[in-house]
Structure 1
Amino acid sequence: MSNLLLVHSSEGRDELLHYTLASLNLYEVEKCEEILAPKLLNGDAFPCLKCLAWSADGSSLATGNFDGRVSIFSVNRTDAPFVSLGDLLPMHSRPCNGIAWNAAHKSVLAVGFDEHSADMSLFIVNLTRCLTCRSSASSKRGLLLCPCETSEKVQYKCGSGESTDSIVWQRSNADVLLRGASKTCIQVLDLRCGFRPQICVTTKATCGLDIDYFRDTLVSSYDVNVVKLWDLRQANHRLFAIDIPSPIVKSAWNPNRSGSLAYLYQYSKVIKTCQAWCASKSSERTLSSRFLPASMFNFDWMSTFSWLPSFRDYVAAASDSQGVAICRYGQSDLLTWNPNNELLFSSDSKNIQCKTFTDDISVVMKRRAQAGYGLPDGMVLSRHAKLCSDDEQLTWLWSWLETAWKLQEEEQVSLSGTRFPGIKAVLLSSVNDRCMSFDEPIVALAKGECRQINISQNRANCLTLCGWNELLKSSFFYADPVLLKLFEEGDFERALFITAITKRIPLFRSLLAEQAKSSEKRYNEIQSVMALILATPRYSGSLSVWNATCANLQKTVENNYLKALLSFFSEVNGGRCSMDDVLKLQDIAFCDKVAMALLYLPMHRLMAFVDKLLNDSWASGSLYGLLCTGISAEKDSVSLIQNYLDRTSDVQTAAVLFILNGSFAFSLHQSSLVYRIVNSYLTLLDRWQLWKERAELHQAIANHDPNNILSLPYTILGCSYCQQPIYSSPIRLNQWHTRVAYCPECKRPLPQCALCSLNVGFTPSCKQGSLCFL
């Protein structure tokens, strides 16, 4: 007598369906380690069932009988739990060995029958078409799978003269079905490719086919007293074979743990579980086993079992005479290292040393890659700043990249070897480098010794790179976008710093009166500093008193931008401003320091200051130094990016910078630092299976280096059976105008594509496409 146990999980709730002694019982599962009372009963209305299948949404149930009848029921969780929708009958009476619902298309059902010399054994049926034909069916036996109605009901059929021992759909691809055939082989059928199986594994273990929930290539099956595990990527060699002393009842993969398989044999008092670690080398493959005794369920012995997906580490078991019970299956396993190099364990479903940690850099990089980070989308680079808004340095980087790109595109700067020029290269270029002098840095300045502003076309371009691009065209009465943005963000101190340097104090006063609150402490500090700045040209007393006043006020303010202004406007060193005191202050933005130096330092002091900032950036692994060096294949730029990579492990940003600038080329030597950085990121995208993002970056590289595209490492395709290479180079791949789906040496199917699961070289025709029902 069959003893079947199924589970359906939906919205955190599990339901169990148990068939025994011609009755079908429905249970609602709760976390309690005791025998469950059935929620719904349906008496003796289900005699001679051999297999059951519950649809993915839990609304439909299919039952297979020993006489071949397949009945479809609607699961109604009320007084009448199982409402019949109709029956399917084979043309020749024989047992139904397996039923499988398609997870992506709830009306599609695969049915496997026993062997018959004059009929097929595997049918894939669209129930929507079948049930619409029911009213017109004249036969009292139900909906017959007969030849005259095949075109309307059956989407696919195969297995003439064979038996279908078990069937299972692949979870990640609704077009792929695995079939155990006649105790001879396991076939992988891709319904888009017609009738021929794409993979055929020779074995007698064709019953109980099941696929791991986490890896669709890991498959289990069993024969009378042996369980076998297979990897479809190397289908000609099994991974493991587990010998059992008695006939096997059931085997099933754990839906909550990768590589964990449980199996039960006849009249057993234990459920055995095994954890498979599948390495590429056979010597590194291991299999560990544990036992779950019947006493944990308060049973004498068990007839079947099922995992509970919603309740982690819980198992349900059934006995013919004692009903259904569940219990917790605890395990003690080492989980992983956290980003702070602390170890996290779990013991019996409880975490030990579990804390809230920030995302690891690999998690951050993958999230950004999925959002299109670094892809050259028409060179609109500022959009990438939104993907890293939590990182101030990267936000500035992408804004600077777009500014530098526009400066090069508008031909204001013409430098070879880089798309993103730096300040050093711009200053040393020969584009209209005529020096001009501007006095009176403040509008109200009417007397006294004026500070001189040295401006040339090159320095003006450098100010644009610093974000002060509105300096030469600013108005005393209208705010530029940079200033308005600072007020929107509430950064009043930096706004005062910029307006004081760029001669727009009256404009700042009007904006401050509109947006700041006079009750705030910072507002009073800003007003005090601004009053002192405006009093600078009118002061005619002693310089020592003036310096003391500035020094005392400098001690009371907290913001470094205000301290910088007080240092700038205090007369020291014989009546001249000490720029070193200003530029040495911390917490002043890198670009603001550079902009101020561009305005007030002569060339020899300016270059020395830029070199000092560059050395500081190099030592701290900061990308702000790229403002000075730009992005190129030169040593300064590459070493700066390398130090940033060493500090943060952000290989993504490092690689993207080289790709966008065109510094990386396929023809680079593999020992080159740029080559290794970019190739590491491309390999990382392959591991994450982000094929589209990887292809777009590959195309961006090819646009810069089309003549040497074949220098990049490529994969040589080989047959899984005879191990002979199929293509010797990527050029031959494009020369195959007529492709075939089999190996030219052994005539067996070629490897499958990881994306579409089609065989390499397969080109679907219109006729074959009509066989695909999905």
Structure 2
Amino acid sequence: MNGVRLEVQWSPVHPDKFITWGTEISLYEVLPLKDAQKSSCLKVSNTTAANLLATNSSHHYVKCVDIYPQPEPDILLAIGQANGKIVFTTFGPTAFDAIGLTGKELVPRHARQCNVVAWNPVDSNLLAAGLDKYRADHSVLLWDVLKCPLHGNGRAGVANVSHQHSMSGGEGTRPIAELGLSETTHSLAWFNTQSRSFVLGMNNKHLKLVDLRDSNKIVNSTPTKSVYGLVVDPHKDHQLASFVENQISVWDTRNFEKPVLTLTQNKPVTKIHWCPTRHNLLGSLMRDSPSIHLHDIQQTVIGNDEVEPSVLERTIHPGTTNNITSFSWHPTHENRLLEISLSGSITDSVVFERITLNWSPTSHVVWTHGRRTLKLISDKDLIYNDLNDISAKLKRRALSDYGLKPELWQNGDLAEDESLKNLWFWLNVSRSLVDDGNMRGIECPLPGVRYLLKMDGSETNGFAVKSDMISRPWTDLGNSANSARIYRFDKESSLTSFLDRLEAEGSYARAAAIAVFNLKLKKAIDILNRGAVSQNKQSIPQNLNIVAMALSGYSDDRSSMWRGLCLNSRSQLPEPYLRAAFAFLTAEADNYENVLNESGVAVEDRVAFACTFLSDSKLNEYLKHLTSKLTEEGNLAGILLTGTSMEGVQLLQRYLDVTGDVQSVSLLAVRAFPPDLLQETSVQEWITSYRTLLDAWHLWNQRAHFDIVMSACCPNDKPPQQVFVSCNFCGKSISAQMQGLSRNRGAYARLGGTSQKLKMTSCPQCRKPLPRCAICLVHMGTPSGLQNNNNTNSNGRLAAASNKMADFSTWFTWCQTCRHGGHAAHMTHWFREHSECPVTACTCRCLSLDAASKVASIITHKL
């Protein structure tokens, strides 16, 4: 490689120090940015800075460097040079000076380039060097730099070996082992748990595993050109990686014939490094690249076999615009990287983990945060209020029995949504009108406007409504010549009470606009004036009195100045109802498009306006267009037009697609749809999905109430019996034989003096006796069938029909462990005073196995 390459390396034992080297070697200390006040400090991230502690420029032609891997207070470096020498150096006076290591040189017999130098991570006295080829010399040299055996805790401290080293004299510079005669060593890496084993990349054609305890030394090898940059996985000694040109190979020493994984890159690889804090994460650097590539190797095991791993790859950009020349993982801080660029700038960055995210049906979000931490957001977290999450909203509604209240309007108060509230209120009003007989001849329980006007396509000509066109004067203007053409049906509704209600709610603009639509201009002006002096100034526009003044000058003269000013200024009004009112007053040739298409005006008001001022054909066309538009938007206000029809189903389906509110569409269908619509495929899918949702939330009570309401809508579709008692001999259901009491009367015994209820004591199918009660020793059995509905009371009148089945006291009950049991009343009485099974010689403590009894006992103790 031409030029000097800058390298960076974290200290393996000093978490806040690292070195850089090229033409000179520099030692840095990482500080929080707020504590870095010296001019020599370099900002390396948004939170940290690097303080230059020392620089060593006395060594030239440096080819490789490694840091002494033991936690000494000072840093000792082993430097491999171009002439093959290995020099020990420090930054200033250290404890290593006293034992003669500082400045010590290890010299091979023949000069050639040193390609790699590596301290043993287990026995730190051992140092291995890999050299270029020499015809009659070895390329792998192993030194014991302190010339002392391994003792105690796996390392020999510097203080403990000083005396022995001084006794050994010059013999300490001789290698204790030599390998690779007339070969070239390109890379070398020690294993992390085996102090006498390492792997070599040699001669551009071999990887060799070496065990110094073996007389043969070379214990395994494999032919490959991928012999550069050998690194051993710090978490798995059997996994290592190497590269050649643009190809990275991942090896498993247990199956060393071929690489388990080959990664092909776009450019030549210059460095690879395993992450020491993250399993199976390999970082790689390409030549002339401003980014680092990460390879997340996913190991897969099927049965007892480990299949070929898969790889998730991604690229990280540290933020520098220059090409990166080297990088180093921090030895202990999770996913922390140092990068150095061609310009010498250093970047301290953290690789954000590819998180695993899980979202439970109960709205709990859990994700990984590093190796040892999980973060959780529960459904009670305040963030859900900001997110407006539909699932959390549905759960809150379900807990408040939303949709299950007896009166339809009560459900609107629980909806937490204005459109839903209006819809439930409208359904309540519509049902009341039908039930009270105000809509004669209406078969639909909740009809829509188009159904009432016979404009739903049921008639042959598309609509059957016939209205009378009349001219109504502006009576409060004092000029009988002013009039408007309207279309009137058989009935007219009272307006005063409705306007009073709108004023009471503070909807002055809406009340004034509706008064204008009903040709009561003076009343509209009075409403606006009252709104202008209202004390609730914050929610009411401040220009209502000005609008009232503008209305008072109304003129139907097409060329008047008033009309021209209104046309120019109408769009500047912030209130849509006021814009609609002036659009009505300035309309030409009965063209009311600006009123009918004002989206800020409620759908019911626009429909009422259309019914008043549009002819039958135009009304039919407008309602059809409006229905289509509202259906496409999923606007629930469209139910006013469609009612409970197939068009209503389509609108609710679109609303569901937009909002995900499966709860509301299911409850609306159950509470409002006729039985034939409930059988539609889409409606059944809503109901099934909502039931599944309630089950996932463990809201069993709400699910049961929902099913009760559902069964009330479809009394003929009763769910099949799912739980029953079966005979131990023939396996037949005992309750399934209830219909044949008269034919099997011999299988029953009378209960006391009651002739209407019979008690089974044997199987109606095989006549085998039922088990005996462990307390009373009588064959168990429960009274079957309903009580007689023809009972008379003391007044001689028929009593109310009773659907009460057998009393709970006679029900079967038994322990799921020992299978002993009896009548429910008897077992309850027994376990009030005992915890052990009543059957002789049975030592099962049935009561302690019952979770319900544990809860009850806890509650009792607390009380």
Flag whether TM exceeds 0.5 (same fold): no
TM-score range, shorter chain: 0.3 to 0.5
TM-score, L = length of structure 2: 0.41
TM-score, L = length of structure 1: 0.45
